[in-house]
Structure 1
Amino acid sequence: MAEGTIPSAATLNGWRKSSYSDNEGADCVEVIDGHPHGIPVRDSKAPHGPAIVVPAGAWSAFVAAVKGEAFGGR
């Protein structure tokens, strides 16, 4: 694994779909919680493709921004 990427996301188990993804197959982001190197993130429409690994602190800040006003809030 190169730092920050996983070449084949299908090699990992435990993916969960983001609550911000819709049920129509578009905008589907999946993550794995508790990974030792950060938070793996992939496009669920490409499960065998690559995933990025985001540091846990950066992911927490991103989620907080999405839930807040930075991206329109929910």
Structure 2
Amino acid sequence: MLNESDLYALDITGAAFVKACGGNTHPDGESCAVLAKIGVDAWALADSKRPGQEPLRFTTAELAAAGIDPARFGLSV
């Protein structure tokens, strides 16, 4: 299983982020998250409203524990 150091060592340059919107509406528009598979059992999650922020990284198990389903983004585990 990957640990935090392993996840943040992965290069996400060129990662294909996919957007999913819904839920709470931000004052400046709809709330959206972007997710990319960055390796085996590794994901990067970001906020579309803050494109300059470094994405957070998670394992598949951590995403599931947070209630985030990659299928909602059209991605498969």
TM-score by length of 1: 0.51
Higher strand share: 2
Deviations 1:41-64 (A, max 9, x none): 101012232101111111012117
Aligned twin of 2:33: 29
- 2:20 pairs with 1:17: yes
**Structure 1's 42 and 5: CA in aligned 2 closer, same or farther, altered over 3 A?**
farther
Q: Which runs of 4+ in 1 moved over 6 A?
A: none
**1:43 — aligned with what?**
47
Q: Which of 52, 56, 70 pairs up with 1:52?
A: 56
Question: Is there any run of 5+ residues in structure 1 with no aligned partner, and where?
Answer: 65-74
**TM (normalized to structure 2)?**
0.50
CA spacing shift, 1:20–1:5, aligned 2, 3 Å: farther
Structure 1 48/15 Cα, relative in aligned 2: closer, same or farther at 3 Å? farther
Over the matched positions of the two proteins, sequence identity in percent amounts to 12
Q: For residues 55 and 33 of structure 2, what CA distance do their matches in structure 1 show?
A: 10
Name the SS for the 1:45 alignment partner.
Answer: coil
